[in-house]
Chain A
Amino acid sequence: DAGITQSPRHKVTETGTPVTLRCHQTENHRYMYWYRQDPGHGLRLIHYSYGVKDTDKGEVSDGYSVSRSKTEDFLLTLESATSSQTSVYFCAISDRWLGNEQFFGPGTRLTVL
């Protein structure tokens, strides 16, 4: 299995609080992605990174920010959590842009009350 972990795995928080999710990889892959998965929708890209300090927005980036200060860590921050951000969040990595294989983390289930 690719070395990719997410923390926390589960979190319950209240509306209006900031939340940070962490993705950590040991594969030295250049590209890292944050997706959210919701019932009735396919996975949707929130933000991605193509190198240290290099990030860009995906299709559902409103209300989210990211940071990548080290190759191995990609942080997703919900600046002020809302109930619409209740979701399962997946981190993924690849050695090329959407390369042959993306390796996914185990997911973080976030509930915003």
Chain B
Amino acid sequence: KNEVEQSPQNLTAQEGEFITINCSYSVGISALHWLQQHPGGGIVSLFMLSSGKKKHGRLIATINIQEKHSSLHITASHPRDSAVYICAVRGGSQGNLIFGKGTKLSVKP
């Protein structure tokens, strides 16, 4: 079983829809990261959080430590949000990042 599971693997939405991407993990962690990988391959860090909620523009990330679960929400989605969204947790003996396989989001105009 993977230590970091993301769902769904693929998501297609219409422009304007509210989007939720989920991340569940099975290890103890000190922090969780959300990253965005553009269609061209570039990777950008979106959030790092260890509790509660963070918001940046139309993006909201939440984490529930007790349930070992995090969600990334996108409000008023736009085609430019089309990307792969990656969850990563900081855990393990070295505190390395353990990455999920990503959720591929496609937003149609």
Question: Which A positions have Cβ atoms within 8 angstroms of B?
Answer: 40-45, 56, 58-59, 88, 90, 92, 97-104, 106-107
- Asked whether B97 is an interface residue with its Cβ less than 8 Å from the other chain, the reply is yes
Count CB-based A-B contacts (< 8 Å).
Answer: 46
Q: Bound state CA distance, A72 and B96, in angstroms?
A: 22
The binding surface of chain B is classed by DSSP as strand
Q: Which of B42, B86, B95, B101 contacts A97 (CB 8 A)?
A: B95
**Across the interface, do A45 and B4 meet the contact criterion of CB distance under 8 Å?**
no
Number of B residues with CB within 8 Å of any CB on chain A: 21
8 of the cross-chain contacts (CB-CB < 8 Å) are A40-B101, A41-B101, A42-B4, A42-B99, A88-B41, A90-B43, A98-B31, A102-B45
**Across the interface, do A45 and B97 meet the contact criterion of CB distance under 8 Å?**
yes
Q: Which of A56, A97, A101 contacts B45 (CB 8 A)?
A: A101
- Asked whether B44 is an interface residue with its Cβ less than 8 Å from the other chain, the reply is yes
Q: Bound state CA distance, A44 and B42, in angstroms?
A: 16
**Across the interface, do B100 and A104 meet the contact criterion of CB distance under 8 Å?**
no
Kindly report which residue of chain B lies nearest to residue A44, judged by CB atoms: B99
